[in-house]
Structure 1
Amino acid sequence: MEQLLFEAAENDDAIQLLDILQSGSREGSSLDIDCRNDFGQTALDVAVDSGSLSAAGALLDSGARAGSAMLYAVDRQDLAAVRLIMDKRTAEDVMGSLEKDKGCHHSCTFSPDMTPLVLAAHHNNYRLLKLLLGGGFTLPDPSTFSWASGVRQSSAWLSTYQAMCSPYYILLTSDDPFSAAFTTARTLRDVCWKRENYRGLLEEMAGRCETFAAELLDEVRDSEELEAVLGYSRGDQQPPYTTLEMAVDFKQKKFVSHHLCQEYGLLLDLPAAEWESWSRMYVIIFNLMLCVFCPLLCLIHVIAPKTTAGKMASIPYIRDLFWSVSEVLMLVVVRGGGGGDISRIARGDPTPAVIVSTPQVLIIVWVLGLLIEELQEIWYQGLRYHLSRLWNLLDFAILATYITQLVLRTIYCTWWGRYVTENMADDWVVQTNPYTFQPVMIAEGLFAVFTVLVVLRAMGICSLSRNLGTLQISFGRMMFDILKFITILALVMFAFSCGFHRLYRFYGSVHGYMCDTYGESSLKTVSCARPHGYATLLATAESLFWALFGMGDLNMLELTPRASPEGVLHIMGKPVFTETLGKIMFVMYHVIAVLVLLNLLIAIMSASYQITEDNKEVEWTYRRLQDVMFHRRVGLTLPPPYNLLVLVKDVTGWAWRRASPWQRRRDVGSYDNEEEEARIAKTSEETYKMVVEQLAKRYILRRERATNGTG
């Protein structure tokens, strides 16, 4: 009887199907309309999967459960079957039927946690999704699935997020598809480190969301729509930021490198509207002129910011250039802050000791301006986001090293006044004698590090050039590669250090004792001019490190004994086994550390460079636009020391306004401004939603025509 039921369902024989059901009812047999075949399919499943809609309608009218049948209809992308089931069953009925079947594991086709909407989103079928969403079907919350609960839960989590990455699902369920796509992509990339076994799939899903956002942006047709989309500021974000800033913050490189995003960013960054028509030589001359007149233009901006010359310093491109000029000038000042006249010091002639010189004052002013800029950025964007950018970490290192050395010098000048004399020769002696006052030496070392960091900070100007900017990105990636390589190399060095120290520690200890006591080593190949390279664990690690660069001393491996005045410590004969084993270990160390690991580092660095080179357009444009958006968001000030003048001007103006008798009138005006800003924000939101709706229609129409072969 059951076999006849399945055959009638497959052959779309509704009359025979009803006869079988009625005869089974008359005979009082135990025919179950929801019985399953060997593959876990019900008669309704077979009918829907075979396209037998008449039989499917008869089974639905007879009370068959439609849960798994809906999955088959969606999987076949059969709109007629889906409509048939939705006409006779509600979404609650279908989901309830699937919930009952969860614990049975009957189906060989679908996982227990599969739902119709998830399956339709996997197919990215616009008509199916719209039909199911209109019928009340919803996606499960991914947070309800726990990865630690087993394969079933992790598969359900992945399946749900795959559905959330469907472009049509995003368009049909979100008023802000760009924000939804960016958020989903970022969520998937954030969990990659927890799910390394699924990293490839998660990256592919995140890339799908990013590609959708870029394709949706392709539907923009004019500058007004571009401004409405990329310039829309979300008031629910703190601080509020635009679509483009959100894409940069969420590292949506493919979207940010889109030609329309670049065009929009360049409109904010270009120094002049005629920039595109300029020749290369004219651009070079223009940049050189900006560098030469940088101090003058900064002062004009401070005094008269509304003038044509004053407005030039407000353009992000020019401000970036001015910061680079400021850093280069600081290098000149640092170089000019050297010591005094060596010939006078050598003769011992009285030379006044200048505690605070002119270069030092200029450096202090510059560092103070940099500190003000860093505090302003932290105030506007928060410490966590601020420290996420490598350039800000470098600025922090510059400030930390200089302030620390300045504190040490202040202590030196204040507490140890007896060292500050009227003779620079005496002061020079204090600095060169490590036993007088150590903070002086530490301050000198920190100032040297400060000089190096300022030079590295000046490399920021390379980001203005496409070729140099790409090399700068490769340099940063290679630094991370070196850090990963150092981890492996340190483990190898530590392993061999322990072995060499264990093998040579007796001979090294005897060598040190004999040299200290009698001034003569117990080994012929090693002199007392320096300690044995393998006597201590630290000395062993140092010897192996320099051996990487061909500076290892092979005499340390030789153990030819010398007659010793200490009979107890006399080496009776040459330890051939120990010496041979040590040489073999040294060769093995070179093979592993030099031939294998160093060549591995070269290969890794080459791969990093090739990745950057292959994605040059995306990498550089993203990094450049990231800087533009960052400076626009935090309001990049003038470079030091001119930003101090702006600060003094702003504080003075604020104090004057507070003391002004017209303050109450200004307060009323500020309240009106707040109302005006709220009105503008509401209008911007309405415009954004209207433009996004038009973009969605164009995107859907284009995709549907391409699917049907008409576009």
Structure 2
Amino acid sequence: MRNPLSRVELYALSPAEAPTVYILCDFLGGNISCKTFSWLGLTSRRSSEQVAAAPCFLCVYIQTWTTYTVCFMSPDSPAATALRGPAYMFSAPSVSLTEVEQRFLEAAEYGNIPEVRRMLLHVPSLNVNAVDYMGQNALQLAVANEHLEVTELLLGRADLARVGDALLLAISKGYVRITEALLGHPSFRDARRLTASPAQADMLDDFYAYDEDGTRFSHDVTPVILAAHCQEYEIVYTLLSKGARIDPPHDYFCGCDSCNYQQQFDSFSHSRSRINAYRGLASPAYLSLSNEDPVLAALELSNELAMLANIEKEFKNDYCRLSSQCKDYVVGLLDLCRSTEEVEAILSGETDSEDSYDMPGRPSLTRLKLAIKYELKKFVAHPNCQQQLLSIWYENLPGLRQQTTAIKLLVVLAVAIGLPGLAVAYWVAPCSRVGSVMRSPFMKFVAHASSFTIFLGLLILNAADRFAGTTLLPNMTHHQHPEGSPLNPDPLLLYRMTTTPFTWMEILIISWVMGMIWAEVKEIWSQGPGEYLVEPWNFLDFGMLAIFLASFSCRFSALRHADLAQTYVHAHYTTLINITLPPEIEYFTLARIDWLPSDPQLVSEGLYAVAVVLSFSRIAYILPANESFGPLQISLGRTVKDIFKFMVIFILVFLAFMIGMFNLYSYYLGAKQNDAFTTLEESFKTLFWAIFGLSEVRSVVINNGHKFIENIGYVLYGVYNVTMVIVLLNMLIAMINSSFQEIEDDADVEWKFARAKLWFSYFEEGRTLPVPFNLVPSPKSMLGLVTAIKSLLLQFAERHIVEKTETQLNQLGESKNSGYGASTSPTRYQKIMKRLIKRYIIKAQADRESDEITEGELKEIKQDISSLRYELLEEKAQNMETLDGLLRRLGEISTPAQRCEDVQLKY
């Protein structure tokens, strides 16, 4: 079968002779049969490159299977106009261009290097800044089509404009060599060219394009910001090496003159400029190449962006996406670690000692602490991080990590039983083998958990004497029992003195509470109030301990008043039978049912009950240590948050119906079958229990014949039940189910993050002895106090010496650092980070190269072929001219020789 393109005929037809069916295509050569080109102003003997450069459209009319008629038409012909379509306005040439300028722009666009060179050299009046219909000059067209040689030729002109636009265009397309060529232009010798955005440079010169449509890029985008947006590592590195930087935006609540002016002039542009700047700062390329500590920079930036997402709600999705990008960057670095040293470097950050990563001491984990604070869950739950945490968790306990769960449970039980002995051993010898084992995070956790379990056991045992009921009824006192019974050992003993004093079990509970209060005080002192209030569990601890303290205070107050009354009785009476006591003394002989509602002992018992409930809910704190209960505890915490959100709508609806029903029935007190809705209290009770189906329908019935009020009550009560029970409660269930599903979908990450938070609380130095053994000052604590006082005195003395030395140096006019120069050699942490950054960049570039087999690369290949065609045509033309010259020279030489030969033959 023959090639369908085996024959191509070229015709130059007038617009009237043009065929009716055309297919727009590119002309790249072929078997050309030249007929006539008079309409184009060409001759049939002209070269094929002249045909290719003719200012016309190339169209193909399908004539037969093997023959194609190729026709050149005028751009203004009706057939060509019909072909343009609605997008022609974006590609049509400008009517203000001369023919020379049009040819120049086309040559720059298609990479015709010989034509561009010829016109630059031989057309003195050529306007190199002429623009087409879209406002692009020759430099922009050359850069857009990646013609490096054309770009270099154009950069040789001193009057070249819009170099900044060309640079931004090259950066956006990722043309590294063209970008380097543009940066070599003399205009970039001024450092402001790389730091100023188009909006900041519009009053200087024509470095950027400024027409009615503005420049192609946003006016607030600088070259380095654009390179960071495009993830061009090489270009970002080149720009940074030339001094380009991205200035962080001002604080959102900044009140400086610049921010106020931009906010008032164009608030939208101001917000967009902030987002563009943050997009550049959050770029992995910029984070990797511009920061000495990219991990810290990414962590801080992710937190800042998360806060801005809550402030600027209209751009919340943008800021959340950038915050996630920073988090993913840190996770990517952690994923590239190949040794424990590198993991410790990321988790701990810069250290004071050069060999700190090789020292046997526990790493500081400052970056990990920051990640937990900013809730970088994927970073904390990463296997490399978890493995490092696990090794620290079982510190000083070799072999326990590999033991079975049964062995670990036996260890926990042994620690719980021998906790007093271990505490005494640590108190006596904190630096011994037992002391080092007790300082292990795992042992600290077991000791504290065992201590708290014992505390809960004491709370249970404190109520054990009332499990089967009390001996005395609420309306009985000990005087109603026989003389000499255990309840009445002393005839002068007041009844309150039998119920108010603390039992030995309650004294133990008080000691545990005081130990927990002391532990919380130490935690506040070490962390600071700000850090302490960030953790939600601390609110539970604070509330529980405060309620316990208030309960014991009320109980002590009741005991004091009862003791004063008992002292008065012992001083003035010999018996309490058939005597009249003063009212304030007689009150302490009354049965419980006759006590005042505000009695301190009643208040103490109520507060104690609440504190017990909070104490048992505190068990949830240690549940994340277990893989089975951890996700459940996380879901429970998320459910509590959903309930608090739901309570806002619930309270609004509840208040609306409570006030409405009260206003409707408040006039019918005593005229209803019950007291529902007749008072504000009854209205609250009725509506609240109606949620659980415990209120009656007859609550709205009125005894007399006011049917209109009764019907209104039925309607409101029915609407309330539908709204609260069917709508709002089901909405709450849906919210809880959604939250649980979110946790379930990412249960492993959520659990490991929660477990890491629990573990990290035991990594801190101190808090080794559990409650209540921490109340006894240990020799180690006393030594630490003496050391702290000594260090404070030494710091004060050194500060005084430094200030004196600085004063002397200032008087001598010397620098305070003249004696010892700062070391310029990179630290070990910097070496490790540099190694990790190199791996990250190589991986990012490899991933990008594997994903970029796109239409852009095909277009690039096409442009290279087009440029090669023009070069080959130029070389061919030169060779043809050389050949013509040789032929003429040969002809000149051969003519005299022929004449001589003719003369010889003649004679």
TM > 0.5 fold call: yes
RMSD: 3.5
CA gap of 1:542–1:38, structure 2 versus 1, over 3 A, is farther
Q: 1:66 aligns with which of 146, 163, 167?
A: 163
Q: For 2:534, what is the secondary structure of its paired residue? A: coil
Following the alignment from structure 2 to structure 1, what is the Cα–Cα distance between the partners of residues 329 and 383? 15
User: Aligned match of 1:190 in 291, 307, 314?
Assistant: 307
Take 1:85 and 1:655, find their aligned partners in 2: how far apart are those partners?
65
- Distance in 1, Cα, partners of 2:599 & 2:251: 60
CA-CA distance at 1:77 after TM superposition = 0.4
Q: Deviations over 1:412-434 (max 9, x none)?
A: 33356455589999858465434
Write the distance in 2 (CA, Å) between the matches of 1:466 and 1:47: 61
Report the counterpart of residue 125 of structure 1 in structure 2: 232
**Does residue 214 of the first structure (1) align with residue 328 of the second (2)?**
no
Instruction: Decide whether the 8 Å contact of 1:334 with 1:363 is kept in 2.
Output: yes
How far is 1:9 from its partner? 3.1
CA distance in 2, matches of 1:440, 1:153: 63
Q: CA deviation at 1:97?
A: 7.8
Q: Distance in 2 between matches of 1:107 and 1:533?
A: 72
What's 2:450 paired with? 325
Amino acid corresponding to residue 136 of structure 1 in structure 2: G
Distance 1:68 1:710, change over 3 A: closer
Where does residue 679 of structure 1 map in the other structure?
A: none
Give the Å deviation of 1:538. 4.3
Work out the CA distance in 1 between the residues paired with 2:133 and 2:658.
66
**What is residue 428 of structure 2 aligned with on the other side?**
303
- Taking the aligned partners of 2:427 and 2:378, their CA distance within structure 1 comes to 38
Counterparts in 2 of 1:190 and 1:105: CA distance versus 1, 3 Å: farther
Distance (whole Å) between structure 2 residues aligned to residue 124 and residue 63 of structure 1: 29
Q: Deviation string for 1:367-405 (max 9, x for gaps)?
A: 121111111111111111111112211111122112222
Instruction: Find the partner of 1:616 among 747, 752, 759.
Output: 747
Q: Distance in 1 between matches of 2:319 and 2:160?
A: 41
Task: State the partner residue of 1:400.
Answer: 546
Asked if residue 270 in structure 1 is aligned to residue 401 in structure 2, the reply is no
Cα displacement string for residues 288-321 of structure 1 (whole angstroms, at most 9, x for unaligned residues): 2232222322222222223333322211122122
Alignment partners' CA distance in 2, 1:651 and 1:73: 65
SS in 2 for 1:393: helix
Distance of 2:138 and 2:851 partners within structure 1: 38
Matched, 1:445 2:606: yes
Q: 1:250 aligns with which of 371, 374, 382?
A: 374
Task: Say yes or no: does 1:626 pair with 2:753.
Answer: no
Q: Distance in 2 between matches of 1:657 and 1:96?
A: 54
Give the structure with higher Rg (CA): 2
Residue 9 (structure 1) aligned with residue 108 (structure 2): yes
- Alignment-derived partner of residue 683 in structure 2: 540
Aligned-residue offset at 1:696: 1.4
Aligned counterparts of 1:19 and 1:82: Cα–Cα separation in 2 = 24
2:630 paired residue number: 469
Q: d(CA) in 1 for partners of 2:788 and 2:607?
A: 43
1:316–1:628 contact (8 Å) kept in structure 2: yes
Equivalence for 2:725: 594
1:540 aligned partner, one-letter code: S
Aligned counterpart for 2:828 among listed residues 660, 676, 687: 687
TM-score, normalization by structure 2: 0.67
> Alpha-carbon deviation of 1:651?
5.3
Structure 1 partner of 2:271 = 154
Residue aligned with 1:192, SS = helix
Q: Which structure's relative contact order is higher, taking Cα pairs within 8 Å and 6+ residues apart?
A: 1
Q: Tell me, yes or no, if structure 1 residue 495 matches structure 2 residue 638.
A: no
Q: Indicate the SS of the match to 2:425.
A: helix
What secondary structure, in the 3-state scheme, does the structure 2 residue paired with 1:193 have? helix
Tell me by how many angstroms 1:194 deviates. 0.9
Deviation at 1:337, TM superposition (A): 3.1
CA contact (8 A) 1:408 1:439 kept: yes
Secondary structure at 1:171's aligned position in 2?
Answer: helix
Map 1:628-643; keep pairs closer than 5 Å: 628-633=759-764, 635-643=766-774
Q: Counterpart amino acid of 1:393?
A: F
How many residue pairs get aligned? The number is 658
Counterpart CA distance in 2 for 1:419 and 1:431 is 17
- 1:27-60 deviation digits (Å, cap 9, x = unpaired): 9xxx6x5565443434422221122334433443
Instruction: Map 1:230-629 onto structure 2 (within 5 A).
Output: 230-232=347-349, 242-270=366-394, 272-338=397-463, 342-343=471-472, 345=477, 347-348=480-481, 349-351=487-489, 353=498, 355-415=501-561, 417-419=563-565, 429=590, 432-435=593-596, 438-507=599-668, 511=669, 521-523=670-672, 525-526=673-674, 532-561=675-704, 574-629=705-760
Secondary structure at the aligned position of 1:467 is classed as coil
Unaligned runs of 5+ in 1: 512-520, 527-531, 562-573, 672-681
**Residues 252 and 102 of structure 1: CA distance in aligned 2, closer, same or farther (over 3 Å):** farther
CA shift, 1:653, in A, is 4.5
Query: What runs of 5+ residues in structure 2 fail to find an aligned partner?
Result: 1-95, 203-207, 253-258, 354-363, 482-486, 490-496, 570-575, 577-584, 799-822, 853-907
Letter in 2 for 1:251: E
Correspondence for 1:110 among 212, 217, 238: 217
Residues 1:42 and 1:441: Cα distance change in structure 2 (over 3 Å)? farther
Whether the aligned pair in 2 keeps the contact of 1:39 and 1:108 (CA below 8 Å) is: no
The residue number in structure 2 matching 1:700 is 841
Shift in Å at residue 281 of structure 1?
2.4
What does residue 241 of structure 2 align with?
Answer: 134
Q: Is the 8 A contact 2:292 2:830 kept in 1?
A: yes
Offset, 1:480: 0.7
* Separation in structure 2 between the aligned mates of residue 371 and residue 234 of structure 1, nearest angstrom: 34
Q: CA deviation at 1:334?
A: 2.3
Distance 2:824 2:243 in 1: 32
User: Is 2:136 aligned against 1:41?
Assistant: yes
Q: Judging changes above 3 Å, is the alpha-carbon distance between structure 1 residues 655 and 41 closer, same or farther for their aligned structure 2 residues?
A: closer
Q: Distance in 1 between matches of 2:757 and 2:786?
A: 37
Matched position secondary structure for 1:708: helix
SS across alignment from 1:386: helix
CA contact (8 A) 1:233 1:243 kept: no
Counterpart code for 1:112: H
More displaced stretch, 116-125 vs 145-154: 145-154
SS at match of 2:635: helix
Report if aligned partners of 2:197, 2:222 keep a CA contact under 8 Å in 1: no
- The percent identity for this pair of structures is 26
SS at match of 1:179: helix
Is the contact made by 1:102 and 1:113 (CA closer than 8 Å) also made in structure 2?
no
CA contact (8 A) 2:477 2:590 kept: no
Q: Provide the rounded CA distance (Å) in 2 between the counterparts of 1:366 and 1:290.
A: 18
The aligned amino acid for 2:615 is: V
CA distance in 1, matches of 2:197, 2:422: 74
Kindly indicate whether the alpha-carbon contact (under 8 Å) linking 2:562 and 2:588 is maintained by their aligned counterparts in 1.
no
Q: For 1:417 and 1:549, how far apart are their aligned partners in 2?
A: 46
2:234 is paired with a residue whose SS is helix
